[in-house]
Amino acid sequence: MLARLRRLLWDNGWRHAWRAPVPVVVVGNVTAGGSGKTPLVAAIARALRDAGWHPGIVSRGYGRRHDAADPLPVLPDSAASDTGDEPLLLRRLCDCPVWVGSDRPAAARALLREHPQVDVLLSDDGLQHFALARDLQLVVMDARGVGNGWPLPAGPLRECPRRPRDATLGPAQAEARAPQPFFALRRSAGALRNVGDGRVLSLGEFRAQYAATPISAVAAIGHPQQFFAMLRDAGLPLARTATVRDHRDIPEKLLQDLPGQVLTTEKDALKCRRGQPGLERLWAVQLRLEVDPAFIPWLLARLRRAASRSPDGFTSA
């Protein structure tokens, strides 16, 4: 209900969104917690660069220090505590400008001022925050779909699952309940990087090298059970799993208590302190994202259309 009332303020002209001089693509979800938005933003940014675009990324930067500069550029060597873990991961994965800020239009203006070559903006999350006008809205779903169909706190929904969007992306089994157009996403485990010394092993190499060693997993993400299930699907038996609240650091004591080799997500690995005990046993699992091959051509066509519009005026969020 609150999301619907907030949206009415913008739809009826009582509040006005800032219109960027370049196309804006918002990638978000209608369910609480992580659904794979950040990996999709990274995949889109890389595909846009390959197609000759110059993307920039803006994000709220959840989990960062309240006294950090705002807005703030994200650099490859930034501290996750200043930028948030997901923006820092995007900066390292995409090699394109990333800015964070509680005021997304302010972050977008700062990014465009410092990087005038940027010709398309990607907003990591922000589907329910309408101050930044958008040209495309992409809703990401995970294996939960819409759950029981109820809003928080009775269910997982932030807002009505039928909210307007330009496309929905998610696992193939979610298509039956998703508005069209729908593009399938498949997530799987990729290579593993040792957080202590930087070694990279393929899944096969890791399984062979540590076949006789217990394997544990820990995650501080919205839905860690999906991460653990992905590891098991990759043939990695888990002797023990542990969860930490989303965006929080993995406690050193917990890492020390987990047996054998310990697997975690790439964004959780970013928050580990250099030299802390146990990093020689900690491995960041790369996420492989397979996107419907029809999606990028569809996106590029929509962006070309958006780029040809007048920069003046207002597009409803």
Q: What phi and psi values does residue 185 have, to the nearest 5 degrees?
A: -125, 140
Predicted confidence at residue 237, as pLDDT, reads 94
Q: Are residues 139 and 264 in the same domain?
A: no
pLDDT in 10s for each residue of the chain, 317 residues: 445 555 555 455 556 789 999 999 999 886 655 567 888 999 999 999 999 999 999 999 887 888 888 899 999 999 999 999 999 999 999 989 999 999 999 999 999 999 999 999 999 977 777 899 999 999 888 766 555 454 554 444 555 556 668 999 988 888 877 788 999 999 999 999 999 999 999 999 999 999 999 999 999 988 899 899 999 999 999 999 999 988 788 899 999 999 999 999 999 999 888 888 889 999 999 999 999 999 999 999 999 998 886 454 334 33
Q: Are residues 106 and 212 in the same domain?
A: no
290 contacts 185 by C-beta, under 8 angstroms: yes
Distance CA 297, CA 40 (A): 15
Q: What is the DSSP letter of 173?
A: G
**Among 244, 235, 241, 282, which Cα is nearest to 263's?**
282
Report CA-CA distances (Å) from 138 to 73, 199, 259, 297.
24, 35, 40, 15
Q: Are residues 217 and 278 in the same domain?
A: yes
Predicted confidence at residue 222, as pLDDT, reads 80
Q: What is the DSSP letter of 41?
A: H
Q: Are residues 137 and 263 in the same domain?
A: no
Q: What angle do CA 32, 235, 224 make, to 5 degrees?
A: 15
Domain CATH for 43: 3.40.50.300
| pTM for the model | 0.85
Q: What is the dihedral of CA 74, 123, 24, 296, to 10 degrees?
A: 100
Range of the domain at 160: 2-185+291-307
Q: Are residues 166 and 297 in the same domain?
A: yes
Predicted confidence at residue 155, as pLDDT, reads 45
Q: What is the DSSP letter of 95?
A: -
Q: Which are the contacts of 20, defined by CB distance < 8 A and separation ≥ 6? A: 105, 108, 112, 121, 132, 133
